[in-house]
Structure 1
Amino acid sequence: MDSSVKIILHTNGGEWSKGLSGSVDCGADPVFEESAEGLNTRIHGCFGAVLVLDLSLYGENHNHPTVSRIFKAGREQKIFVVTKLRDQDSLYELFLKGARGFCSPDIEMGLLVKAISAVMQGELWISRKQTAYFMGRMYRESSSRVRQSTLLGSSDESLDPQLTEREIEIAKCVALGNCDKAVASSLDISPNTVKNHLRNIYQKLNVSDRVQLALICHGIDVEELRRSA
């Protein structure tokens, strides 16, 4: 297993990929892998890497069988998709498959580096508009809209017993759309402390990001949505 590889670029050399080498501070240059077969081998050898998927390789078809196989094989990777797609439903389906962020092929290099760095650190790179759409659609599609244990409930009985009081405070703030810095400011703690608490919260609730955390706080069954993806 090669732990030195932090970024895998699955592309045929689009303009957006040129200049990435040396631009992202991850200790090693990105590895290019154009073939799906080579990518499959690379995925299994690089735990925790960011996989940048160029959807143009598959005609911008998010339902292409190979794309689905890549997402299944890359469960341990953070997948970032470069795509011309603007259709929110298509992006939503990619998000449910496991995409951690999206950008257009004509993205400015500095912004692309920032996006990949954010995903590398475990954050999502999706717009507020996309977040609102994804959450709205998840809510509509969930058949379990209200749980007995809803973190945004008004009484102590509604608070999830898995979390500490501080974790519940942070989860509520995140569910209301606050960034780490805003959460830290409102609770008078450091942003790093917020990040540490969030890691524990994600592990306890079996979620991977703040969108899924917000859904649980609003009483939506994330596991059901995963099974339907």
Structure 2
Amino acid sequence: MIRVLLVDDHPVVREGIRGMLSAENDLDIVGDAASGPEALARVAELSPHVVLMDLRMPGGDGVAATVRITAEHPGTHVLVLTTYDNDTDILRAVEAGATGYLLKDTPRAELAEAVRAAARGETVLTGRLAGKLVTGMRNRSAPAGPALSPREVQVLRLAAEGATNAAIGRALHISPTTVKTHLMRVYEKLGVGDRTAAVSRALRQGLLPGD
């Protein structure tokens, strides 16, 4: 079972999300919180696999809570679920360590699958939001980074869109094992340990140019 914590300052929203996800046999809603500080306490108490985190809450910022959760509880992944889709919010969330970013109008089936992907540590960004993240990263000055090969760029771009190793392999006509090898080389070049950090750093350093 994937243990999920809901964080939102609106009780109606929390109940709505609980109702959507409770129908999934492999998802267990273990608790909820109404602010960032409360979320920190609940994560320490409940050890969820995934935190569905709102960003803007009067009782405490979701980005600050994400930073603390990802630093202090490496087994817990934060998946942002919010109303806002501007470049700055998406960038702040990813830089804080969030595994992904979804909007509250995401359909139930897509939300459930995103939670499963987040529990596996995979990056969760729709194509539209990934584009906004790229824009936000480009608008910031960044030092030159290590060169990635054309194939590594292709693999990382697909990873940024949330594709699994198998899906990347099918798209590029290579094996999932080869995809994993490319990703490991990317991690080594960028000095990171996972997909989300690799995507964030590559975008910040201008290593994922647009089409």
Between Structure 1 and Structure 2, how many residues are aligned?
191
Structure 1 stretches of 4+ with a deviation exceeding 6 A read: none
Report the Cα distance in structure 2 between the residues aligned to 1:20 and 1:66, rounded to whole angstroms: 24
Structure 2 residue runs without a partner (length 5+): none
Does the Cα contact within 8 Å between 2:148 and 2:186 map onto a contact in 1? Answer: no
Q: Structure 1's 15 and 133: CA in aligned 2 closer, same or farther, altered over 3 A? A: same
Report the Cα distance in structure 1 between the residues aligned to 2:50 and 2:20, rounded to whole angstroms: 17
> Where does residue 41 of structure 1 map in the other structure?
41
> Where does residue 197 of structure 1 map in the other structure?
181
**Counterpart code for 2:155:** V
Q: Larger radius of gyration, structure 1 or 2?
A: 1
Percent identical residues: 15
Report the Cα distance in structure 2 between the residues aligned to 1:115 and 1:47, rounded to whole angstroms: 19
Does the Cα contact within 8 Å between 2:5 and 2:31 map onto a contact in 1? Answer: yes
Q: Structure 1's 188 and 5: CA in aligned 2 closer, same or farther, altered over 3 A? A: closer
Does the Cα contact within 8 Å between 2:79 and 2:115 map onto a contact in 1? Answer: yes
Higher strand share: 2
> Where does residue 21 of structure 1 map in the other structure?
22
Pairing 1:8–2:5 present? yes
Pairing 1:212–2:198 present? yes
SS of the aligned residue for 2:198 comes to helix
Q: Kindly state the Cα deviation for residue 116 of structure 1 after the two structures are TM-superposed.
A: 0.8
Does the Cα contact within 8 Å between 1:101 and 1:119 map onto a contact in 2? Answer: yes
Does the Cα contact within 8 Å between 1:5 and 1:49 map onto a contact in 2? Answer: yes
Does the Cα contact within 8 Å between 1:142 and 1:221 map onto a contact in 2? Answer: no
Q: Kindly state the Cα deviation for residue 112 of structure 1 after the two structures are TM-superposed.
A: 1.2
Q: 2:148 aligns with which of 148, 151, 160?
A: 151
Does the Cα contact within 8 Å between 2:4 and 2:48 map onto a contact in 1? Answer: no
SS of the aligned residue for 2:53 comes to strand
SS of the aligned residue for 2:85 comes to coil
Does the Cα contact within 8 Å between 1:43 and 1:73 map onto a contact in 2? Answer: no
Q: TM-score, normalised by structure 2?
A: 0.70
Q: TM-score, normalised by structure 1?
A: 0.65
SS of the aligned residue for 1:107 comes to coil
Post-superposition CA distance 1:80-138 (Å, at most 9, x none): 12211132322222222222223333332212111111111121221222222322332
